[in-house]
Amino acid sequence: MSPKSRPVIGVDTGGTFTDFVLMEEGRLEVHKEASTPDNPAKAVLAGLRHLLGDASADVVHGSTVATNALLERRGARTALVTTAGFEDVLQIGRQTRPAIYDLDVQKAVPLVPAGLRLGVRERIGPDGEVLAPLTQEDLRALVERLRGLEVESVAICLLHAYANPEHERIVLQALDGEIDAFLTSSHKVLPEFREYERCSTTVVNAYLGPVMSRYLSLLAEELEADRVRIMQSNGGIIPVEAAQQRAVQTILSGPAGGAVGGFEIGRRADFRNVITFDMGGTSTDVCLCPGALTRTTEAIIGEAPIRLPVIDIHTVGAGGGSIAYRDPGGSLRVGPRSAGAEPGPICYARGGTELTVTDANLYLGRLSPEHFLGGHQRLPVEPVREAMKAFAAEMRISPSEAAEGILRVANATMERAIRVISLERGYDPRDFTLVCFGGAGAMHAADLARSLSIPRVLVPQAAGILSALGMLLADFVRDYSQTLLLPCAGLDAADLEGAFAELEHRARGEYEMEGFAADQLVMERSLDMRYVGQGYELTVPMVADFETAFHDRHHQRYGYSDPQRATEVVNVRLKAVGRTEKPSISKQQLGSEDASAAVMSECTMVFDGVERTASLVNRSMLRPGNAFAGPALVVEYSTTTVVPPASRCVVDEWENLILELVTGRQ
């Protein structure tokens, strides 16, 4: 097989299903495997065997291994080496209180217990000056202590190493070869100030490193000569070897693939402002894209702060597998507990006994029992009816009211998530298009759009596996940063050139080793800035008048700015992008509006307590230009789209479904 014809596969491991997209010479094939939480590699390898047989391919993988290991506290036994006297930085953290009036606040348990936090006598000042040197005697003592602790991983985070990493390098050299453990240091992970965030991020990388390394080594070994690349939280991909050393960068790799794919599909369809809405089996991820993917450098995963560039994704515990229950006060609740892949919803017939959002959709006719997974799996309806009847009796309402109530509660959770990323940040959702995907997204998107007065919904081709497709649309991305802490008074772009030039030199060297030519690289410069005295920064593009850009961004985000107030540059940032060849998605000519050839039959759906006759539409038979009115149920292999009453569905040139809604916007 020639290099040009070599297939490439995107793989997204989810809580319920593992999704696959195969692209080869313009051909797209999709597949779903039930996830195997005990060993995610089993589902990945099974799906690859199904698609490839004995052939080989390049694989781009979005993994939840690091995420789950952190959330479930199943990482490596990790030691922390830090400056003597600062062993408890990880324990002390910040003075912020998540529940300000709670008198019995329980702080998160650190990933590294006190007995594994070791101090070494040394000191470097904030300007990089060596105040107290490291001694060989202290290094030998450190090695001996670590040998007796039987740790799998060691995080090294010395005071002010962002200003001068000399002592961290010395400690690394002393431990390398002497300690049989995964080693990571803060100057390689996060060369920025703020001791707690830098320490926490470094510790998370050490905690997850051995877990991710074992998983990726197994995967690469099983795939033999195939090239494996890993999706990062920042929306780019990296080689598998880099992911083994930088596990912390893969924390949100699956959701990041969805955001990349959703934004790109929306952009190609000429919708510049989009909100991506990814509803899977366990959770829902939303991302605001006002002309570009938004990124942040602050995230908290499993109560552990992480300070690295990530796509700004907001996640809530609402998915198709979210379990409905009656709380002690008698109210209907949904999630965040999920039925997952095993046993799954009742209608999956794998032993599930608790009602889920998916079961409610089936009860209301919003899932076709004969056409789930393209007809490969028939969903039993009777067990769901019996369970819904019993649940409704417990709630003292009718079964239809119970089913619609389950959907309304789940929708309310997801609506709040969209409000957080839009209205609470100064954006009007009415100016956006909702791009929905994930196995359950297209069943709920129209209801959410109506609630938020979003005028239209875009449902991409194979929406149920768009996160896997997004991974095939991603570029190689590496992020670099350096703390400066410079006042802006008298500062201009030329004064920052040296710092950016150093970061770009590092980036070009690393990309050259990976085979990228200079014309494949794009360098994007930005600054972290703040008003003097503030505790947090905003990231602005590196432009000639960066101070004005900061005032404008501050006003947009917080509703005010003060051009007379002194500002400062905290960090310089570089996003180095290595452009990759993208799979082609063809644009089609628009044809007739007549969609009758795609209508298979009629079905019954329930909306607001009323049974309605709806069209059952086969998406594979729809053609660009086709249009039809709701109510309708559009079925395909990877997802189901609900077209509610008082709405119209149009197929565009890219074969996206565009749902035009009556939202009540003035």
Summarised one tens digit per residue, pLDDT across range 384-424 is: 999 999 999 999 999 999 999 999 999 999 999 999 999 99
The SS3 of residue 255 is helix
Summarised one tens digit per residue, pLDDT across range 299-315 is: 888 788 999 999 999 98
Closest CA to 158 of 137, 142, 177, 176: 142
* High-pLDDT (> 90) share of the chain, %: 73
Report, in angstroms and rounded to the nearest whole number, the Rg of the chain calculated over CA atoms: 26
Residue-averaged pLDDT of the chain:
92
Tokens of 9: 């596969």
Summarised one tens digit per residue, pLDDT across range 7-22 is: 889 999 877 789 999 9
**Average of pLDDT values for 202-225?**
88
For residues 348 and 360, give the distance between their C-alpha atoms in angstroms, rounded to a whole number: 13
pLDDT at residue number 663: 57
pLDDT at residue number 632: 97
**Average of pLDDT values for 95-105?**
78
Cα distances (angstroms) measured from residue 518 to each of 481, 498, 500, 512: 21, 20, 17, 8
Summarised one tens digit per residue, pLDDT across range 635-644 is: 999 999 999 9
Greater pLDDT, 454 or 66? 454
Exposure of 102 by Cβ count < 10 A (0-12 exposed, 13-18 middle, 19+ buried)?
exposed
**Residue 354: CB partners within 8 Å, gap ≥ 6?**
323, 324, 325, 339, 346
